[in-house]
Structure 1
């Protein structure tokens, strides 16, 4: 059996940022609530970054998931009060690219998942 040299799942997601919220979005992410950061770790998410592509008002998130069941962990995250409060605040600043999504707690998702087409690890 081959050895998996690259455990985990890399994830990339996009969502639109309402341009009038740029400054506020940057401000709240400069001081993310400790309870939200703890939940990322609890549910096996690390190496999480969000980038901003200004000409398209796109937020691009990348992260690594190191758990055993991504879907189950995502379902548990939706039940966490700190996440629900954080998402309520940040969802107001965003527009989802997921058709019919009502927010980050929606089972459809809020951030659009982007498929990986190339990977090089060294």
Structure 2
């Protein structure tokens, strides 16, 4: 079911080749506190895909709240999420010049513009 007031977000980042196995392994059991922070921030339908030939991680999620920037700031301030990012950031390489890690001023994951959407019939 589509939520008419939702915001779709697609982001990419490069996965370091030596981290592939560990990254996939830890994402099989994401920490409950990290998932709770996303839920509190009105993030739903979150998935990360991996394209191994280019070492690309591609994340997609829907935001169904009313204050995207404010909710993302709350996620970045969450202690459990900060601990998670300390583990995962070291496995990744940002495409954003000047990025220093998740939750910092320059976004760690690059956000992609939407160029096409087909929702079909409700």
> Structure 2: which 5+ runs fail to align?
none
Shift in Å at residue 121 of structure 1? Answer: 0.9
SS at match of 1:62: strand
TM-score (norm. length: structure 2): 0.94
For residues 107 and 71 of structure 1, the distance between their equivalents in structure 2, rounded to whole angstroms, comes to 12
For residues 73-98 of structure 1, what are the alpha-carbon distances to aligned partners after superposition, in whole Å with 9 as ceiling and x for unaligned?
11111111011000010000000011
Of the candidates 64, 78, 81, which is equivalent to residue 79 of structure 2?
81
- C-alpha RMSD of the superposition: 0.9
**How many pairs does the alignment contain?**
118
Write out the 4+ residue segments of structure 1 that deviate beyond 4 Å after TM superposition: none
Shift in Å at residue 107 of structure 1? Answer: 1.7
Mapped pair 1:58 → 2:56? yes
For residues 29 and 62 of structure 1, the distance between their equivalents in structure 2, rounded to whole angstroms, comes to 15
For residues 85 and 93 of structure 1, the distance between their equivalents in structure 2, rounded to whole angstroms, comes to 14
SS at match of 1:74: helix
For residues 6 and 108 of structure 1, the distance between their equivalents in structure 2, rounded to whole angstroms, comes to 29
| 1:36 corresponding residue in structure 2 | 34
Q: How do 1:85-104 residues align onto structure 2 when only pairs under 5 Å count?
A: 85-104=83-102
SS at match of 1:67: coil
For residues 100 and 107 of structure 1, the distance between their equivalents in structure 2, rounded to whole angstroms, comes to 9
SS at match of 2:77: coil
For residues 39-91 of structure 1, what are the alpha-carbon distances to aligned partners after superposition, in whole Å with 9 as ceiling and x for unaligned?
11000001000000111100000000000011111111111101100001000
SS at match of 1:24: helix
